[in-house]
């Protein structure tokens, strides 16, 4: 082979090598772009599907609670309440019994050391402080939730009208008031799927940084509570303060 032909052969091999390398680089880049685009599409599709399922889960959970609540005429059980008061950096714990009869009759019996009764009936609320021999009477509204958190248990049949709801984990809902509701900032609700009553516990946060945790147990439904049980008559010697006047 002449030097001229050998030179052209070597030059041809170099050009062919560079072209082949360039093509492999281009194909590699295209492959990476396609894989990245595919992964992005899969991720976008997953997020979209997750959002749809997420929203459906919230609706299904609330509807399931509503269905259980619609079957209840009255309920009674025990509760425990833990209150964190931010300004005082203090924790208070209470226990007691609660009684609810739809549509709007409620009664709570706090055990010592609080030793109080709270009765709600026909738009009136009575707070009987036994140790002080005093009764406070006022008009009951949903603004009272922040002062009497357990009253929320009688309003779970209309959550969508009162709150914006999202699911933060399975069987746990976050409720934010659609309109001002006392000092309530948000409520975390733990859903109960094991028995007839749809709520296991809830935590209430207010705008001042306070927190109230309420848990219920030994709940019985439709035991036939009488209307007379929710009529409060102040005992003799007890001073009544009517805050509506």
Residue 243 in 3-state DSSP? coil
Q: How many domains does the chain have?
A: 2
Which DSSP string corresponds to 97-130? EEEEETTTEEEEEEPTTT-EEEEEETTEEEEEET
Question: 171 and 211: one domain?
Answer: yes
pTM for the whole structure: 0.71
Whether the per-residue pLDDT at 17 is higher than 80: the answer is no
Confidence tier at 190 by pLDDT (50, 70, 90): very high
| Tokens coding 147 | 């002062």
Same domain flag for 174 and 205:
yes
Structure token pair of residue 239: 């001073």
- pLDDT (tens digit, 9 = 90+) per residue, 120-148? 998 899 999 999 999 999 888 766 655 56
Q: Is the pLDDT of residue 169 over 90?
A: no
What digits encode the pLDDT tens for the residues 40-59? 444 444 444 444 444 448 88
Mean pLDDT of 189-209: 87
Domain hosting residue 196, numbered range? 73-242
pLDDT band at 215 (very low <50, low <70, confident <90, very high): very high
What is the domain-level CATH number for residue 188? 2.50.20.10
| Cβ neighbour number for residue 40 with a 10 Å cutoff | 10
Q: pLDDT tens digits for 68-86?
A: 888 889 999 999 999 999 9
Q: How far is CA 189 from the centre of its chain?
A: 4
- Assess whether 90 and 170 both reside in one domain: yes
Domain match, 186 and 85 both: yes
Domain C-terminal end among 70, 103, 124 = 70
């Amino acid at each position: 082979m002449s030097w001229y032909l050998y030179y052209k052969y070597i030059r041809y091999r170099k050009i062919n090598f560079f072209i082949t390398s360039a093509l492999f680089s281009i194909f590699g880049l295209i492959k990476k772009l396609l894989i990245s685009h595919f992964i992005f599409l899969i991720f976008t599709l997953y997020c979209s599907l997750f959002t749809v399922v997420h929203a459906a889960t919230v609706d299904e959970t609330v509807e399931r609670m509503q269905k259980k609540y619609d079957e209840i005429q009255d309920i009674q059980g025990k509760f425990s309440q833990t209150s964190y008061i931010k300004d005082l950096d203090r924790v208070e714990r209470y226990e007691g019994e609660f009684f609810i009869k739809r549509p709007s009759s409620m009664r709570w019996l706090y055990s010592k050391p609080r030793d109080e009764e709270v009765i709600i009936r026909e738009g009136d609320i009575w707070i009987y402080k036994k140790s002080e021999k005093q009764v406070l009477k006022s008009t009951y509204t949903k603004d009272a939730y922040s002062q009497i958190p357990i009253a929320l248990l009688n309003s779970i049949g209309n959550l969508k009208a009162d709150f914006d709801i999202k699911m933060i984990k399975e069987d746990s809902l976050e409720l934010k008031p659609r309109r001002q509701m006392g000092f309530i900032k948000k409520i975390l609700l733990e859903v109960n799927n094991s028995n007839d009553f749809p709520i296991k516990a809830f935590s209430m946060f207010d705008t001042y940084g306070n927190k109230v945790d309420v848990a219920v147990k030994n709940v019985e439904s439709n035991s036939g509570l009488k209307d007379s049980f929710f009529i409060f008559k102040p005992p003799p010697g007890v001073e009544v303060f009517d805050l509506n006047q």
